Amino acid sequence: MPGSHGSLTKAGKVKQQTPKIRRTGVNSRKKKPPRMRFRDLYIQRVEKGEYAGQRESIGAKRASYKR
């Protein structure tokens, strides 16, 4: 196989040239890994019995049936 598809001296050239853009709005906070996020959701739902959204949401209604 003659040659290669680009020299290693040019590796990372484009990434270095692109300007760094700061995160804004919804993406400004870094997300937790899924394992930690689901653990927090479990604690909130099962252990504390709190459900997100309105009081008339399906999850909140199901929680009220169990009590």
Tell me which residue has tokens 């930690």. Answer: 36
AA letter at 1: M
What percentage of the chain has pLDDT greater than the value 70?
91
Domain count across the chain: 1
**Residue 63 CB burial class (10 angstroms; 0-12, 13-18, ≥19):** middle
Whether 55 maps to a domain, the answer reads: yes
Whether 50 maps to a domain, the answer reads: yes
Whether 38 maps to a domain, the answer reads: yes
Mean pLDDT of 38-52: 86
pTM reported for the whole predicted model: 0.46
pLDDT in tens, 11-39: 889 989 999 999 888 888 888 999 999 99
- The residue range of the domain holding 59 is 31-67
- For every residue of the chain, DSSP letters joined together read --S-SS-GGGTTHHHHHSPP----GGGGSPPPPHHHHHHHHHIIIIIS---SS-TTSHHHHHHHHH-
